[in-house]
Amino acid sequence: MADEPRYVEHAFDGDVHILRIANAPVNTLRTEVRAGLLQGLQAAAKQGARAIVLIGTGRGFSAGAEMTEFGKPRKPPSLNEVFDAIENSRAPVVAAIHGNALGGGLELALACHARVAAPGAQLGLPEVKRGFVPGAGGTQRLPRLIGLEALRLIVSGDPVGPEEALKLGFIDAVLPGDLERAAVAWARQHAGDKFTLARHRTDKIAGYDAAAFDEAAKKLTARSRGQESPKGCVTAVRAAFTMPFDEGLNVEREQFQTLVAGEQSQALRHIFFGEREAVRIPDLPADAKPLPVNKLVVIGGGTMGGGIAMSAANFGLPVTIVETSEEALQKGLKRCEANWERTVKSGRLSQAEYEKRRANLTGTTDFDKAVGEADLVIEAVFENMEVKKEVFARLDKAARPGVVLASNTSTLSIDEIASATRRPELVIGMHFFSPANVMRLLENVKGAKTSPVAIATATEVGKRIGKLPVLVGNCDGFVGNRMTGKRGPQIEKLLLEGCLPQDIDRVMESYGMAMGPLATGDLAGLDIGAAVRKARGTVAPVADAVVAAGRLGQKTGKGYYDYDENRKRMPSKEVEQIILDLAEKMQVRRRKIEDQEILERVLLPMVNEGARILEEGIAYRPIDIDVIFINGFGWPAFRGGPMFFADRLGLKAVRDKLAHYAEATGDANLKPAALIEKLAAEGGSFATLKSAPKAA
Ligand code: NAD
C-alpha cells in the first residue's frame, strides 16, 4: 500500500515532543493538517510529554488557512478545536516560527503557551487584505498580548519581523541558529514556568479608553474608502477590549462569516489568486529559459527611464542609463537621487540602503560601449516611431548577439520597432507605468516574432525588479490603455447630457478608484489626449474646448478643475460654462443623471473592449485584465477589476445594458462584443472562461 502523505510529523527529543507541519509549499492549515495536529497533541499528552514544540517544515511556519477550502462545508476538526487542545495541554506548547506565520498560522501560534522565532521571520494577520477578519481568535488573543497596538497590525494587515514582535510582546524570544534545536532547548528550559495563555491575559486590555480606541481606529481606516474589512477588524478588536473572551470570539466569528461571503472578499481573493496566475504564461515551452541578466542598460533617462533604472537599482540589479548629452544625463541621475533622498527624509529608507541602491546606478553618454556590455536593454526615449527605429537599429549593432532589446513604448507597434533590427525575435515590449519605480504593473508585449526566450527573460527580470509582469499581445494601447481609452466618448456624452467633471469623479472615487478619470486627465496633461485626437482626426467637443481655453491640466494650474498652489482641485466655473454652452450649441437637453448610470457608462465600455481583447487573444485570460487594472490603473482590489465587475453584474445584464446604451447614446462602440453575446446566451461568465478563445 502506498504511504499516505503525512501532514504532521511527530518527533521526539527526549521528553520534548516535536510536531512538524509538513504541507508544502507554505504549510496552509488544510483539514489534514488540523487533524494531524489534534492527533499529535493527544498522543503527546498520552505519552507524558514535558513540552511540545510546534514547528513548520520547509519555507516557513504556516501561511494560514487553506483558502481553496473557503466556501465549502468545513470538515472537522476546526482550528478552534485544535486550539482548545493546545490550551488544555498540561505540557506547554511552544510555537517555533521561521519564515511566514500569517493569518491562521499566526493565530495557531497565538494560541500556544509561548512563541519563539528565528531572525527573518514574518508575523502578521493579513486577512483584512483578503476582505475578511482573522477568524480563529486572532482579534481576541493579539490585543490581550499587546494591547491597542493589535489594532494597527490587524487593520493594516502588514506583517512585522521578530524583533518588533518581541518588542510588542507577542513572542517570547528570538533564537538564531538551528530553530528546531534552539526551540527544543528553550522549551526544555522553560517547561516548568507558569505560562498565562493569551485568552486569560487581562493586563493589556485593562483600562480600555473608548476615545483613544476610536481615534486610533479612525486614523487606521481613513484611507480604506469603501472597503468593509477594515471596519470589521475594528469591530472585532473592540470586542477584545470590552467583552469576555468567548463573547469576543462570537463577534469575531460573525464578522468573519459575513465578510468572507461578501463580494469584496471574493474580489480580493480573485485578485490574490489572479496575481499568481497572471505571471504564469500558458504556452511557454518548458525549455524557454530566461537569459542571465546581470547588467541592465536603460536608453533615455527621462521620466520613465529614470523610474525603470531606480526599480532595477532598488532590487540589486546593476543598471546604466544612456543619455544623449551630459546635461540630460546629469538631470536624469539627479532626479533619481532626489527621489531616493525624499524617501530617506520620510524615514522609509535608511541612508545605508540608499547608498547601496545608488551604487547600482551609473550613467553614460557612450551608447555603443554601454550597450555592448548589456545583458538586457530597455529603451525609454521619446514616443516617436522614427526615433525608436533609429535607436533600435543602433541597439542591434551595438548589443551582443542574443541580447534582448525591449521598448517601453505605450502606443507604438512592437513589430514595426522590431523591423528596424536583425533580431526581431529578441525584441519585446516592456511597458512600465508611471511612476515606474512605484507602480507594480508591467505589461510585457509580445510581437509577432517575439521568441519564448525573450518572453521568459522579460518576465524574469520584471519579477526580479519587483514588478508584476503580465504578457499581452501587440495592439494599439495594449490592454490597459486600450480599455481606458474607450471610456472617453461616454464621458464626453455624460458631460454634455448633465454631468460636471466633479460628478463623474465623485462616483468613480466612491466606487473606490484612486482618482476619477477627469482628475487623472488633469494629472497626466490634457494636451496628450488632444495630440492623439489630432493625429487620428477624431474630436471630443468638451475636451477640445477645455484644451482650447488653455486648460491643460495640473501643469497649467487648471484643466477640468481649478487648482490652488497646493494642487488641491476645485470645481471650475469656467469649465461648467464651457460645458453648458456646448450642450446648448449642440442642442443636448441636460438632465439629472443617476450615479448608477454614470458608473455603468464609464465601466461598461471598458468591459466591452476587454471582451474584444480576449476575442483577439491580446490577453490570455480575463484575470490578466483584472490584474492589470488593479496594479496599474488605481482600481481598488476589493472591486476585483473590470471583468469581475461584469461577472457580478451578470453577462446577460451586461449585454442588455450595453445594447441599451449603444442605442440611447448612438455609440456604435457599445454594441456588445461577440464574446459577451456568446457567454450571455450560454449563461456563462468570464470566470468560467479559463483562457481566451485564441491564444495570445
Ligand atoms: P521623457 O521625455 O521624459 O524622456 C525621454 C528621454 O529620452 C529624454 O531624457 C531624452 O533626452 C532621452 N533620449 C531621446 N533620444 C535618445 C537617444 N537616442 N538616446 C538616449 N536617450 C535619448 O519621456 P518619458 O515620459 O520618459 O517616455 C519615454 C517612453 O516611455 C515613451 O516611449 C513613452 O511613451 C513611454 N511611456 C511613458 C509613460 C509616461 O507616463 N510618461 C508611461 C509609460 C510609457
Inter-helix orientation angle 501-511/488-497, to 10°? 120
Q: Which atom of ligand 1 is nearest to the CA of 301?
A: 9
Across the chain, how many H-helices and E-strands are there? 30, 18
Q: Residue 225 has what pLDDT? A: 78
pLDDT in tens, 93-122: 999 999 999 999 999 999 999 999 999 999
DSSP string, 145-165: HHTTHHHHHHHH---B-HHHH
CA of 556 to the centre of ligand 1 (A): 21
Please tell me the distance between residue 324's alpha carbon and the centre of ligand 1 in angstroms: 12
The residues that are catalytic are: 107, 127
DSSP for 598-656?
HHHHHHHHHHHHHHHHHHTTSBS-HHHHHHHHHHHS---GGG--HHHHHHHH-HHHHHH
Tell me if 174 sits within 8 A of 168, measured CB to CB: no
Tell the residue nearest (CA) to atom 25 of ligand 1. 303
Q: Mean of the per-residue pLDDT values for the chain?
A: 95
- Identify any residues that bridge with 471 across adjacent strands, giving them in sequence order: 444
Q: Report pLDDT for 1.
A: 41
Ligand 1 atom 44 nearest Cα: 410
CB of 447 closer than 6 A to ligand 1?
Answer: no
Neighbouring CB atoms inside 10 A of 317's CB total 19
Residues belonging to the chain: 696
C-alpha to C-alpha distance for 150 and 130, rounded to whole angstroms: 18
Per-residue HEC secondary structure of 360-401 comes to CEEEECCHHHHHHCCCEEEECCCCCHHHHHHHHHHHHHHCCC
What is the distance between the alpha carbons of residues 222 and 394, in angstroms, rounded to a whole number?
A: 51
* DSSP state for residue 669 in the 8-state scheme: G
Q: Give the distance (Å) from ligand 1 centre to CA of residue 380.
A: 4
- The pTM for the full model equals 0.90
Tell me the residue type at 452.
Answer: P
Question: In angstroms, how far apart are the furthest CA atoms of the chain?
Answer: 91
Pairing verdict, β 100-102 and 93-97: unpaired
Calpha distance 488→551 (Å, rounded): 18
Question: Alpha carbon 184 to chain centroid distance?
Answer: 38
- Ligand 1 binding pocket includes 122 (Cβ within 6 Å): no
Distance CA 122, CA 668 (A): 52
CA distance linking residue 244 with residue 232, whole number of Å = 18
Task: Give residues with Cβ within 8 angstroms of 119, minimum separation 6.
Answer: 161, 162, 174, 176
CB-based contact 617:471 (threshold 8 Å): no
d(CA 7, CA 101): 17
The answer to whether the CB of 382 is under 6 A from ligand 1 is: yes
Neighbours of 498 (CB within 10 A): 19
Which residues make beta-bridge pairs with 379? Answer: 299, 407
Evaluate: CB of 302 within 6 angstroms of ligand 1: yes
Q: Does an H or E element contain 215, and which?
A: helix 210-221
Which of 327, 329, 410 best tests ligand 1's pocket when mutated (most atoms within 8 Å of CB)? Answer: 410
CA distances from 670 to 204, 268, 463, 608, 665 (A): 59, 28, 36, 7, 9
| CB-CB contact of 7 with 39 (8 Å) | no
- Nearest-CA residue for atom 40 of ligand 1: 434
> Alpha-carbon distance 611 to 692, whole Å?
9
Cα-to-centroid distance, 305 and ligand 1 (Å): 6
Question: Which atom, in ligand 1's list, is nearest to the CA of 305?
Answer: 26
Q: Supply φ then ψ for residue 369, to 5 degrees.
A: -65, -50
Cα separation, 269 vs 263, in Å, equals 10
Whether residue 434 has its Cβ less than 6 Å from ligand 1: yes
Distance CA 547, CA 304 (A): 25
Ligand 1 centroid to residue 302 C-alpha, Å: 5
Query: Pocket of ligand 1, candidates 303, 394, 438: which has the most ligand atoms within 8 Å of its Cβ, to mutate?
Result: 303
- CB 12 less than 6 A from any atom of ligand 1: no
Chain centroid, CA 402 distance in Å: 33
Low-confidence ranges of the chain (pLDDT < 50): 1-2, 695-696
Which CA distances in Å does 151 have to 44, 105, 242, 314, 662? 35, 18, 14, 31, 48
Tens-digit pLDDT profile for residues 343-361 = 999 999 999 999 999 999 9
What is the β-pairing status of strands 114-117 and 441-446?
Answer: unpaired
Q: How remote is the CA of residue 456 from the centroid of ligand 1, in Å?
A: 25
CA atoms within 13 A on the CB side of 121: 34
